[in-house]
């Protein structure tokens, strides 16, 4: 894809360890969604069917809120606290879910569904942040493999016991966080410590994808189709199987893995439009297999576009890591809203279809008109490749506060000398001139624990006194200044 450049945190090999960790995490995200739609949500109907929609809305609202805060007030996002909160919500939701299902409690079920949805939302942002450190070609291969694997594994989801599927649904988000936490941490810290995208985009507008970008409009409309395909034609609350959708996804995977060309984002988006329109047209044909054919085409079109969306978000985040959280949270949030709207439309159409009402033809015709009109007019001059190329890396020399520069120097030294996250916290406090009593109070640990951390920091930095540590940070500041001067010449 023209205009794509790799992230500064590139891996030297296509199939290096970070690649597989991100690939596995993305598979967990996709498989969790499949389990939710095929196994978990249908079980809600016997207790409180609207818990489905409430949880999806909670997920979307949370992600949109995170996206807005990351855009305008990123220091308010304490990334460690958010990740800890994510794990707590996942644990609480996992504990409440059986109570809601087996005790028939609508309140417990809704609370569990919302807690799990919000926790999964942050896990998705972490996956996107970690993936943004891959090269664009790596990201394309990663996405292709994850989608093919998800389709293959989903075939087994239909035959496993509902209880086992529910347990797996609750456990997979924990695996997602564990896989990408270390990879995502630098990007999350860049967001927390950096200037707000809304501020630096004033003087550098090309560094940040606007929240009203046509990309997000595409995400919303195509997720409407996905929500529609899930609920239209469902039987007993369970979506019709769409395993044949693996054919176009597998074709893309083979192309990406076997050729040296870049991910064909624009072509796939066009093909996905054709598949979505064909899916809506099949419904009007009627017949026993109309619903199945419609769902297969709609799901295949959505899968292709979802692959494109993941790649574009990853590529944009790689060009400007400080806006990565804003981009992913906002993008997934508007996607959730689209899914909810599509699901509501699908339920209505499902009822009309069962009643053989002519109104179903009106619904289908309206959707066809919207998608064809948008594809011909709205997307006429739009290119995903140009959207990515249009985002330029932010000038790191602009709008760096002394505190941000200090944090950056400390993180650079910590990475150079192999300090752990807790040792980095101790190191930064020592570099600010704090004593051990202050560190003990801030970290809420024992005096001996602080002594052990300080000893390890001194050993790794090969220093002997507190002043040596402060001098080391100052030397790094001077070296950074000389490097900036050389780059300016």
The CATH number given to whatever domain includes residue 46 is 1.20.1250.20
pLDDT of 163 = 92
For residue 134, give the DSSP letter. S
Q: What is the pLDDT of residue 183?
A: 92
The Cα 152–Cα 172 span in angstroms is 17
Collapsing DSSP to helix, strand or coil, 232 comes out as coil
Same domain flag for 246 and 365:
yes
pLDDT of residue 39: 92
Q: How far is CA 214 from the centre of its chain?
A: 19
Q: Is there a single domain that holds both residue 281 and residue 418?
A: no
On whether both 360 and 428 belong to a single domain, the answer is no
For the chain, residues with pLDDT lower than 50 are: 1-12, 238, 355, 396-399, 484-489
Would residue 10 count as lying in a domain? Answer: no
Same domain, 95 and 205: yes
List, for residues 72-89, the tens digit of each pLDDT value: 999 888 888 999 999 999
What is the model's pLDDT at position 298? 79
Q: Do residue 146 and residue 286 come from a single domain?
A: yes
DSSP H helical ranges for 77-213: 79-102, 106-131, 136-157, 162-193, 197-203
Question: 60, 331 in Cβ contact below 8 A?
Answer: no
Please identify, among 389, 414, 441, the residue that sits at the C-terminal boundary of a domain: 389
121 and 155 both lie in a single domain: yes
Give domain status of residue 487, yes or no. no
385 and 283 within one domain? yes
pLDDT digits (tens, 9 = 90+) for 119-172: 999 999 999 999 999 988 889 999 999 999 998 998 888 888 999 999 999 999
End-to-end Cα separation, the chain, in angstroms: 32
Choose one of 326, 360, 389: the last residue of a domain: 389
64, 191 Cβ separation under 8 angstroms: no
In a shared domain, residues 132 and 158: yes
**Domain CATH for 416:** 1.10.10.10
pTM: 0.76
Based on the fold, state whether residues 312 and 361 are members of the same structural domain. yes
Is the domain of 293 the same as that of 415?
no
Distance of CA 124 to the CA centre of its chain: 3
Domain hosting residue 473, numbered range: 402-480
User: Which of residues 362, 389, 416 is at a domain's end?
Assistant: 389
Does residue 179 belong to any structural domain of this protein? yes
Same domain? For 128 and 247 the reply is yes
Instruction: State the pLDDT at residue 397.
Output: 40
Do 150 and 28 sit in the same domain of this protein? yes
Dist CA 56 CA 337 (whole Å)? 8
Domains contained in the chain, number = 2
Is residue 367, in this structure, part of any structural domain at all?
yes
The answer to the question of residue 394 being in a domain is no
Distance CA 211, CA 178 (A): 30
Nearest Cα residue to 308 out of 218, 246, 247: 218
Cβ atoms of 5 and 136 within 8 Å: the answer is yes
pLDDT at 454: 95
Nearest C-alpha neighbor of 370 from the set 276, 302, 305, 297: 276
């Amino acid at each position: 894809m023209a205009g794509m450049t790799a992230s500064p945190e590139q891996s030297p090999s296509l199939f290096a360890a970070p690649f597989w960790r991100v690939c596995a995490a993305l598979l967990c995200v996709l498989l969790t969604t499949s389990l939710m739609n095929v196994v978990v949500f249908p079980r809600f109907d016997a207790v409180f069917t609207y818990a489905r929609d409430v949880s999806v809305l909670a997920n979307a609202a949370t992600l949109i809120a995170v996206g807005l805060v990351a855009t305008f007030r990123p220091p308010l996002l304490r990334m460690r606290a958010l990740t800890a909160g994510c794990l707590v919500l996942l644990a609480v939701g996992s504990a409440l879910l059986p109570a809601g299902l087996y005790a028939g409690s609508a309140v417990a079920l809704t609370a569990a569904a919302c807690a799990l949805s919000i926790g999964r939302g942050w896990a998705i942002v972490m996956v996107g942040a970690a993936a943004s450190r891959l090269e664009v070609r790596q990201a394309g291969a990663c996405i292709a493999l994850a989608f093919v694997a998800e389709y293959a594994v989903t075939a087994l989801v239909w035959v496993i016991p509902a209880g086992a599927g529910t347990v797996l649904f609750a456990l997979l988000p924990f695996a997602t966080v564990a896989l990408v936490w270390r990879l995502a941490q630098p990007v999350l810290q860049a967001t927390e410590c950096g200037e707000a995208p809304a501020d630096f985009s004033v003087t550098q507008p090309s560094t940040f994808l606007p929240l009203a970008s046509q990309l997000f409009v595409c995400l919303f409309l195509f997720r409407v189709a996905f929500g529609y395909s899930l609920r239209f034609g469902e039987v007993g609350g369970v979506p019709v199987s769409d395993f044949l959708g693996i054919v176009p996804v597998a074709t893309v995977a083979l192309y990406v893995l076997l050729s040296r060309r870049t991910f064909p984002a624009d072509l796939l988006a066009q093909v996905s439009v054709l598949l979505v329109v064909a899916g809506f047209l099949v419904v009007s044909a009627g017949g026993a297999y109309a619903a199945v054919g419609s769902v297969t085409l709609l799901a295949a079109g959505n899968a292709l576009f979802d692959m494109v969306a993941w790649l574009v978000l990853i590529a944009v985040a790689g060009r400007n890591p400080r806006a990565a959280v804003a981009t992913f949270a906002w993008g997934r949030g508007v996607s959730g809203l689209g899914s909810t709207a599509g699901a509501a439309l699908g339920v209505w159409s499902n009822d009309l279809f069962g009643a053989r009402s002519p109104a179903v033809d009106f619904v289908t015709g309206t959707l066809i008109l919207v998608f064809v009109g948008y594809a011909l007019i709205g997307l006429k001059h739009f290119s995903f490749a140009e959207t990515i190329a249009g985002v330029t890396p932010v000038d790191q020399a602009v709008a760096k506060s002394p505190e941000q520069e200090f944090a950056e120097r400390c993180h650079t030294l910590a990475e150079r000398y192999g300090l752990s996250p807790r040792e980095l916290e101790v190191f930064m406090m020592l570099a600010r001139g704090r004593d051990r009593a202050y560190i003990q109070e801030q970290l809420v640990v024992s005096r001996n624990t602080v002594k052990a951390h300080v000893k390890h920091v001194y050993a790794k930095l090969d220093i002997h006194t507190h002043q040596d540590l402060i001098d080391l940070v100052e030397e790094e500041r001077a070296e950074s200044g000389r490097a900036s001067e050389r780059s300016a010449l």
